[in-house]
A and B are shown apart, each in its own frame.
Chain A
Amino acid sequence: MSRRALIPVLVLGLLAGCSRGGEVFDQPGPGATGLDFTNQLQESDRLNILDYLYFYNGGGVAVGDVNQDGLPDIYFSGNQVGNKLYLNRGGMQFEDVTETAGVAGQSTWNTGAVMADVNADGLLDIYVCAVVGINGFTGHNELFINNGDGTFTERAAEFGLDLDTYSSNAAFLDYDGDGDLDMYLLNHAVHTQDSYGKASLRYERNYETGDRLMRNDGGRFTDVSEAAGIYGGINGYGLGLAVSDFNQDGYPDLYIGNDFHEDDYFYLNNGDGTFTESLRDYFGHTSRFSMGSDVADINNDGRPDMISLDMLPEDEVPLKSSEGDDNVQTQRMRTEEFGYYYQFTRNMLYVGQPDGRFSETALMSGVAATDWSWSALFGDWNLDGHQDLFVSNGIPKRPNDLDFVRYISNDQISSTMDNTRLVDQEALEMMPSGNVHNYVFEGREGLGFEDRSNQWMQPDTLLSGATAWADFDADGDLDLVVNNLNHPASLLVNKSEKKGNYLKLRLQFSPKNRFGVGSKVFAYTNAGMLYRELFPVRGFQASSEPMVHLGFSPGQQVDSIRVVWPDNTYQTLVAPDLNQDLVLTPDGPKPFDYNSIKTRSKSLFVRTQDNLGLQFTHREDRYTDFNREKLLPYSFADRGPAFAVGDLDGDGKQDVFFGGSKRIPSQGFIQQDTTFIPYPLPEITADSLPENTAALLADFDRDGQDDLLIGNGGSDFFGTSKPLLNQYFKYTGGQWMEEGLPESYSNTAVLAPYDFDGDGDLDLFVGNLSLTGQFGSAPDSYLLENQNGTFILSGALDGKGLGMVTDALWTDFDADGDGDLIVVGEWMAPVFFTNRDGRFEGTSNPAQTGLWQSVAAMDMDGDGDTDIALGNWGANSKFRASEERPLRLYLSDFDKDASPDPVIATAKGDGYYPLVGLDELGSQMVFLRRKFPKYRDFAGRTMEEIFGKEALEASRVSEVRELRSGYLRNNGGIFDFVPFSEALQVAPILELLPYDFDGDGTEELLAAGNYFGLKPYQGRLDGFPGALIKPDGHVLPANELGLELLHKSVRHLKIITFKNKPYLLAVFNNAPVEVYALTSK
């Protein structure tokens, strides 16, 4: 043996000897397992990331028992190396049988690999995707039909599946319910010379890049894409492919994740051989650079949930040195001009809702940022009855590194702008590597995931892609196999088998669908229901073992298991023994009624046909305050509409007033016998310039007729501009006459009336939110005393610098018989103003600083006293806050240009980091560009390192210690904060309405919200469907009760009386109002 040959042997020996592991997964090396497949990539001048954008996407992996020995075997596809098949010889020993089997393949560049019984002979075949027709890649997708004797024959052409396009992956499913398996082929575009064309490109089919739906017509597959409603445009960058009966109607649906600007596609199966793409109706927003995905019921509510991966780094260094989200205006152009949907750069976790829509919770659930991620797989790794999550990731070169993007020099770019060789090797070297460890998360009760990457496995720095799960060692827990770049594939051997229990179900459905693809399983246990669907293609470019795996915690008993077969018949298995492989075949199945699994809460609300005539659509003006105040974390230009209920025409019936936005007039509606009709208010609408932010109808001058108070604001007007002044219109003699008010130029948030001096007329608290251009400062609020219908400033309450007030509530919280005042707001704690003989003393608890949005009084715990419910920002944004590590807002003139700069910082690890990056900070504070000429100099720096200790100490610092909504529990006048449950933390709660909605004699609290006035970096906080909170603490999602508030921003909820019946009026920002009848009344 020559010395040269010795070295690799030694290295191999080392690898073999080293088995690495964590608490859940051991990672034996290839020497120990025989899995020596390496997807070795050879970059060349002719072929690299610059020539082919998906050069680093990796190969595929498919798992299944191809030799019918009961053990799952593994097939890897390679990009430039041949594909390999390994037979599982038991005891985690694998044998490379590629050559005998004849499955190495002929294509130049292979991608996804999946297993399915394509020819319906009961044996798993292998389908391998290929990219063909660019970069000199030849070949076609290959179908290796299993001959049952250890050999395979490539017969793609015979089946009509020898497609020669830019394929990523394929899924076999029976979409038309005819019993055989059809195929969806995922293709990807490469055309990116223009960063985007219009969304309508998707309607024009393109041979190479358009996805295909191939119908199985007796063993020959026919392209039915167009007739079936499948898009096939030049802009479909298909990387994610998820199959599930999302809407649980018995027909499998599809979610296609598209990279870049193209929207993801949500294809709902119409059950007649066609699909309807329905993304916008069901999703509020999606991941932007969508990659792999997986569907599973993560919260054990019986509905499919989904994760779609993106590339947001968790670590500060890549986070701040990589290109991030669009700016506000670019996004607006992309959505409004080019026709794309809301997409944001982070992983998205979509939680299935009772109405079939999805609420996105990745930030709250802790799975939003896993860096450059490829495959997501849910599975109960630790056998505790909750789905866990594995995410593979890594990219050899980060092409979106900002230093590379901005500072690569011309010498490194050849001057020709054609499609070849734009950048030389030196340029490639400039991109930092993105070898980030894979992530594993522990699933918890509800929606939360805990990062266990450092405990459950040995984190590595491999470049991991396609991943599949299977029980390779037949011990009952799920193992993982990962196809890596330039490194042998990883096997993660699960050693949880002793920790919990399991069931494995092999669903032998029919000769045409032997592996039961499309089956569903409900497991009813003493600790709730588990739900699974059998679709082996999941993750990224891979298929997992075709079985259903269920994990149970040690005490968990299974009462019964219901299997719903692909033909929508079902059978029940009563109290099966745990820890076994169950092979099931249809046995007297009965038709399954999908309605039986739909949530059956009594609907409390029914949308009225005609809104009772209240045909009002609030329109927000187009002013964007982020353009003027570039460091604002959220907007102050969209807090409307103002809204008031009262008597506009003096007939004693309830009428409605909706305030206008800047230059968009307000609108009145009066109640007539059969309907509401628009009611002109010429004296009021004559001046449409102000942005109305609060309104109040009440009889202030005690002439028996309601007068109108309008609070104004918005954040376009500033200084002492007149449209900022609040307005007071007295209704006298059938006319509205404007009266003066004490001057105040703040952005008004709330007008709260109360007769605090007991003189029989209504006085007024005016709560102010902000001063335009001075975000971070605390404006003054006022108490106004009513003197015979005229308001004068009262000294009874000191509202100087009270804070960024959003809401106020008069209530007798000290139960001494007079009205006290509670004021809530952003970057402040609720202030309790105790009424002491007409003078007010304010106190607050500094631990309760929040971004409070709403306040209401109700007995939340049924103990007979009044508690204080509080709407807050919620836990589902990039803001993070806790008692120990509050969210911070530093306000200081850092660059000494006489205009203070607000900088928001969150804690990460030991330090505080600015929420925004160098571009945004540097656009305001030029000295930072000089201090940090490179992004890598800035990335990973703490606030202190960026601005200096001294400057930070000289700042005005505001804090937020609590972001969750909840209530202040009244303990004999002492108020402790009790957070609401997780379901109420998915978005800001902007409105709280106590009322006896269900007519049981006690009040419930209806909470609603969502907010969109944020930069793309935060995205849209649109995931809250509203909820009814019962006095016993029980929470019912409002979309189970008939309300459609999800993905809309609710600003007001009000009970109005029409024909002596109560109705719920819901008022939204920038959307039409909705009126609901109450079924209990």
Chain B
Amino acid sequence: MKLKFGILLLSVLALASCGTPDQPIVITPEEYHASVDQVTDIMVHDIFSPPVASRVYVYPNIAAYEIMALHNPGYRSLQGQVSELGAIPEPKAGVPVNYRLAALVAHMDLSRQLIFSEEMMTRFRDSLYTAWSETNRKEFEASRDYGLEVAGFIAGWMDKDNYKQTRTMSKFTVDTEEPSRWQPTPPAYMEGIEPHWSKIRPFVIDSAAQFKPTPPPPFSMEEGSDFYNEVKEVYDVSLEITEKGDASEEVAIAQFWDCNPYVSVTRGHLMFATKKISPGAHWIGIAKIASRKSGADFDKTVYAYTKTSLAIADGFISCWDEKYRSNLIRPETLINQYIDENWKPVLQTPPFPEYTSGHSVVSGAAAVALTSIFGDNFAFDDDTELPYGLPVRSFNSFREAADEAAISRMYGGIHYRAAVEIGVSQGRSLGAFLVDHLQMTQETAMAEPQSE
């Protein structure tokens, strides 16, 4: 990647020094992919929890999308379609705005505001800025200014989504006297994260509770009860697959979809974490794969990311609403208490209540969104987890990938069956609603870019 940029930069410099007149700046989908990838990398570094990560993806995509849709009649603005979003400012007449460039600038700038390690984003941005300003200073500056203006506008809307307020709300209260109540899990016993995420303003769904799932089986550790059977199933499945060994398909599936941003490791005074991308980031990765594979242009790429990230963001709001409603205890806690003191799940239990499975919900929702864009039976090779030392897995459809992501949580020993099955259907219903509700493409015109 770095090398490519270097070459780009060199050639631009070479061009500039030859005194060639200003060229129009061409923005490719790859540059948008690079910007999204940069956000993903920074989030892995900064450690964002899955719900917060979904928020970091969605707003920059919306900003880019709104600029693009204003320009490309094939797409329709989200104004009036997502909660409380107004119309973005239009560029001043006669200003030579490159809309794609502006969209990318807005994406980078809003992302910069959302992550912590700003410097990692500005370094990325500045190398692009340098190249663009060498190519065509006037066009670059006009587009940049407009992109920043829109980013500012979206930030104003974003700031009213209750995120700041939820920072000051109470922590999850641990009460170990309540046997069904979630409690922190080994090895780090981290506090329950984002107990108030349901209070974040949703995007497309009308409320966090719109896709409230049926409750989990009633808590009972009496042998033979539905709930007990689910606990026992997690334990039995875990024993069965660990006996088969690390090479077994189930263990491979569990690990592939782990998507835990912070797996803590303690060795004496030495502590650190192995980090991976979040479940949302994995589906953002799939959106990239599908865009590339289908040869999507810049505009369609932005559309795909935006729709997918909307499904993911609403998915987390919906899922977290249920998590801190049912506050269900994790299999690890119960199995250690009732069945096997020394049992450990294949995956590290993430720090929030069990029901429903977040990965199942967002996978279900994201898969529906992607299907609506790229069609059903869209086969793809998923190499999203390669940088984290995991292999490529191939799927015949988004739906198939979502199903595997869901069941992976049970193989991983961190969810009961109900959380997985009801979770994925919760996500699918949400996704279907979202796809149904959102009119992002014009029915009449094909979503093709206009010539400049």
Stretch touching chain A among B161-169, B197-205, B284-292: B161-169
> Which one of B164, B266, B271 lies within 8 Å of A897 (CB-CB)?
B164
> Which one of B175, B188, B267, B388 lies within 8 Å of A410 (CB-CB)?
B388
Stretch touching chain A among B114-122, B297-305, B321-329: B114-122
Check if A192 sits within 8 Å of B266, measured CB to CB. Answer: yes
User: B176 interface residue, CB < 8 Å from A?
Assistant: yes
User: B170 interface residue, CB < 8 Å from A?
Assistant: yes
Q: How far is the CA of A195 from the CA of B186 in the complex (A)?
A: 8
Contacts of B171 in A (CB 8 A): 329, 626-628, 630
Report B185-226 CB contacts with A as 1/0, cut-off 8 Å: 011110100000000000000000000000000000000000
Contacts of B170 in A (CB 8 A): 627-628
Check if B172 sits within 8 Å of A423, measured CB to CB. Answer: no
Q: How far is the CA of A337 from the CA of B175 in the complex (A)?
A: 11
Check if A333 sits within 8 Å of B268, measured CB to CB. Answer: no
Check if A327 sits within 8 Å of B191, measured CB to CB. Answer: yes
Check if A422 sits within 8 Å of B187, measured CB to CB. Answer: no
User: B14 interface residue, CB < 8 Å from A?
Assistant: no
User: B269 interface residue, CB < 8 Å from A?
Assistant: yes
Contacts of B117 in A (CB 8 A): 933
Contacts of B46 in A (CB 8 A): 933
User: B173 interface residue, CB < 8 Å from A?
Assistant: yes
Check if A413 sits within 8 Å of B272, measured CB to CB. Answer: yes
User: B60 interface residue, CB < 8 Å from A?
Assistant: no
Q: Which residue of A lies closest to B266 (CB)?
A: A195
Check if A933 sits within 8 Å of B118, measured CB to CB. Answer: yes
Check if B167 sits within 8 Å of A923, measured CB to CB. Answer: yes
Check if B45 sits within 8 Å of A409, measured CB to CB. Answer: yes
User: A947 interface residue, CB < 8 Å from B?
Assistant: no
Query: Closest approach, in angstroms, between the C-beta of A483 and any C-beta of chain B?
Result: 20
Contacts of A630 in B (CB 8 A): 168, 171
User: B95 interface residue, CB < 8 Å from A?
Assistant: no
Check if B184 sits within 8 Å of A329, measured CB to CB. Answer: yes
User: B10 interface residue, CB < 8 Å from A?
Assistant: no
User: B389 interface residue, CB < 8 Å from A?
Assistant: yes
Check if B174 sits within 8 Å of A405, measured CB to CB. Answer: no
User: A929 interface residue, CB < 8 Å from B?
Assistant: yes
Check if B47 sits within 8 Å of A333, measured CB to CB. Answer: no
In this complex, the interface size class of chain B, counting residues with CB under 8 Å from chain A, is 35 or more
User: A53 interface residue, CB < 8 Å from B?
Assistant: yes
Q: Which residue of B lies closest to A930 (CB)?
A: B116
Query: Closest approach, in angstroms, between the C-beta of B196 and any C-beta of chain A?
Result: 11
* Binding site secondary structure of chain A: loop
Given A630-B171, A924-B167, A933-B116: A400 and B267 interface contact (C-beta under 8 Å): no
Contacts of A626 in B (CB 8 A): 171
Given A195-B186, A404-B272, A930-B118: A624 and B266 interface contact (C-beta under 8 Å): no
User: B275 interface residue, CB < 8 Å from A?
Assistant: yes
Given A195-B186, A405-B271, A933-B119: A329 and B174 interface contact (C-beta under 8 Å): yes
Within B408-435, the residues touching A (CB, 8 Å) are none
User: B274 interface residue, CB < 8 Å from A?
Assistant: yes
Contacts of A407 in B (CB 8 A): 45
Check if A333 sits within 8 Å of B174, measured CB to CB. Answer: yes
Contacts of B269 in A (CB 8 A): 53, 289, 399-400
> Which one of A50, A190, A417 lies within 8 Å of B270 (CB-CB)?
A50
Query: Closest approach, in angstroms, between the C-beta of B245 and any C-beta of chain A?
Result: 14
User: A941 interface residue, CB < 8 Å from B?
Assistant: no
Contacts between the two chains (Cβ within 8 Å), count: 121
User: A895 interface residue, CB < 8 Å from B?
Assistant: yes
Within A920-946, the residues touching B (CB, 8 Å) are 923-926, 929-930, 933
Check if A332 sits within 8 Å of B268, measured CB to CB. Answer: no
Check if A624 sits within 8 Å of B173, measured CB to CB. Answer: yes
Contacts of A924 in B (CB 8 A): 167-168
Report A176-198 CB contacts with B as 1/0, cut-off 8 Å: 00000000000000101111000
User: B87 interface residue, CB < 8 Å from A?
Assistant: no
Contacts of B116 in A (CB 8 A): 929-930, 933
Contacts of A194 in B (CB 8 A): 186-187, 266
Query: Closest approach, in angstroms, between the C-beta of A1000 and any C-beta of chain B?
Result: 50
Contacts of A195 in B (CB 8 A): 186-189, 266
Query: Closest approach, in angstroms, between the C-beta of A933 and any C-beta of chain B?
Result: 4
User: B273 interface residue, CB < 8 Å from A?
Assistant: yes
Check if A405 sits within 8 Å of B273, measured CB to CB. Answer: yes
Contacts of B267 in A (CB 8 A): 50, 53, 192-193, 422
In this complex, the interface size class of chain A, counting residues with CB under 8 Å from chain B, is 35 or more
Check if B268 sits within 8 Å of A54, measured CB to CB. Answer: yes
Report A911-927 CB contacts with B as 1/0, cut-off 8 Å: 00000000000011110
Given A330-B189, A417-B265, A930-B118: A406 and B168 interface contact (C-beta under 8 Å): no
Given A627-B171, A923-B167: A408 and B272 interface contact (C-beta under 8 Å): yes
User: B183 interface residue, CB < 8 Å from A?
Assistant: yes
Q: How far is the CA of A194 from the CA of B169 in the complex (A)?
A: 31
Query: Closest approach, in angstroms, between the C-beta of A49 and any C-beta of chain B?
Result: 6
User: A899 interface residue, CB < 8 Å from B?
Assistant: yes
Q: How far is the CA of A408 from the CA of B44 in the complex (A)?
A: 11
Contacts of B172 in A (CB 8 A): 627
Q: How far is the CA of A630 from the CA of B167 in the complex (A)?
A: 10
Q: Which residue of B lies closest to A338 (CB)?
A: B189
Contacts of A337 in B (CB 8 A): 176, 183
Contacts of B174 in A (CB 8 A): 329, 332-333
Report A614-629 CB contacts with B as 1/0, cut-off 8 Å: 0000000011101110
Within B235-285, the residues touching A (CB, 8 Å) are 265-276
Q: How far is the CA of A336 from the CA of B184 in the complex (A)?
A: 13
Check if B176 sits within 8 Å of A336, measured CB to CB. Answer: yes
Report A990-1022 CB contacts with B as 1/0, cut-off 8 Å: 000000000000000000000000000000000
> Which one of A333, A408, A427 lies within 8 Å of B184 (CB-CB)?
A333
Query: Closest approach, in angstroms, between the C-beta of A420 and any C-beta of chain B?
Result: 11
User: A415 interface residue, CB < 8 Å from B?
Assistant: yes
Contacts of B187 in A (CB 8 A): 193-195
Check if B173 sits within 8 Å of A627, measured CB to CB. Answer: yes
User: A798 interface residue, CB < 8 Å from B?
Assistant: no
Q: How far is the CA of A605 from the CA of B53 in the complex (A)?
A: 63
Given A192-B268, A332-B174, A926-B164: A406 and B186 interface contact (C-beta under 8 Å): no
Q: How far is the CA of A200 from the CA of B191 in the complex (A)?
A: 24
Query: Closest approach, in angstroms, between the C-beta of B296 and any C-beta of chain A?
Result: 30
Q: How far is the CA of A630 from the CA of B169 in the complex (A)?
A: 9
Given A329-B171, A406-B47, A627-B170: A415 and B268 interface contact (C-beta under 8 Å): no
Contacts of B186 in A (CB 8 A): 194-195
Residue among B169, B177, B266, B273 with max Cβ neighbours from chain A (10 Å): B266
Check if A400 sits within 8 Å of B271, measured CB to CB. Answer: yes
Q: How far is the CA of A930 from the CA of B164 in the complex (A)?
A: 14
Given A897-B164, A923-B167, A930-B116: A399 and B274 interface contact (C-beta under 8 Å): no
Q: Which residue of B lies closest to A406 (CB)?
A: B47
Within B67-84, the residues touching A (CB, 8 Å) are none
Q: How far is the CA of A404 from the CA of B265 in the complex (A)?
A: 12
Contacts of A400 in B (CB 8 A): 269-271
Report B98-124 CB contacts with A as 1/0, cut-off 8 Å: 000000000000000000111100000
Given contacts A195-B187, A933-B46, 14 further A-B contacts (CB under 8 A): A49-B268, A49-B270, A192-B268, A193-B267, A195-B266, A260-B268, A333-B183, A333-B189, A399-B268, A409-B45, A410-B274, A410-B389, A427-B272, A926-B164
10 inter-chain pairs at a CB distance below 8 angstroms, sorted by A residue, are: A193-B267, A194-B266, A329-B174, A336-B176, A413-B265, A413-B274, A628-B171, A897-B168, A923-B167, A926-B164
Q: Which residues of B contact A (CB under 8 A)?
A: 44-47, 116-119, 164-165, 167-177, 183-184, 186-189, 191, 265-276, 387-389
Counting from the closest, the 8 A-B pairs by CB-CB distance are A53-B268, A628-B170, A399-B270, A627-B171, A415-B389, A897-B164, A933-B117, A329-B174
